[in-house]
Amino acid sequence: MHHQRLGEIFDIWCLHIPTTDRTPFTDLVKLIETTVRFKNNRVPNRPIYLVGESLGGCLALAVAARVPHVDLVLVLANPATSFEKSQLQPLIPVFKIVPDHIRPGLPYIMSLITGVPSGMLASTAKKGLPSQQTITDLSEAVTSLFSYLSDVGDVLTVDTVLWKLKMLESACAYSNSCLRSVSAQTLILSRSNHSLAAFYFHPNYL
């Protein structure tokens, strides 16, 4: 939603990973690194901002470690650098034995595990609105949620979920192993259920 506004200031390049794509994490890192080197060679005096969320945050860190000479600024939103502590990580072996009759309900199971419905409904209920307004907001939230999950269910398969979970696992391990090689200025945005925290790291303190 911000691309048009940011496009007035920046030359924006976006990485799109199709649902059926099975490119390993290390190859994605090399792809982005090649692009960063190309842009830096064309305009060497301008900083390059790498903005990544979750997996994208790990990609940005990995690339920054490989090109320490490039003037990079990292903006990381909830980077998946703590995936080994996530409640999703233990599900990798479970999804391998998911019965076929459960697979159509996978998006709903995933949403329950990650707390999407409860988070949406709880945030709506805690607004302190009049009862009728609260009921209306809850109804709209539920309708929006199930519409979203229905769309996700059309493309989300067990194989896709397994691949994405394994990708996050390898991304977490890779990015954490190279953190000390990152010299780029870094802004980390971390969101909890009720607040947003921002942390800024200067290269001298990484």
Q: Which domain range does residue 130 map to?
A: 101-160
Residue 127 and residue 155 in one domain? yes
CATH of the domain at 176: 3.40.50
Residue 145 and residue 193 in one domain? no
Average pLDDT over residues 6-19: 89
Share of the chain above pLDDT 70, in %: 58
Per-residue confidence at 170, pLDDT binned at 50, 70, 90? Answer: very high
pLDDT in tens, 86-134: 766 666 666 666 555 555 555 555 554 444 444 444 454 455 554 555 5
- The total of structural domains in the chain comes to 2
Break the chain down into helix, strand, coil percent, rounded to 5. Answer: 55, 10, 30
Residue 82 and residue 177 in one domain? yes
Residue 187 burial class via C-beta count within 10 angstroms: exposed 0-12, middle 13-18, buried 19 and up: middle
Residue 158 burial class via C-beta count within 10 angstroms: exposed 0-12, middle 13-18, buried 19 and up: middle
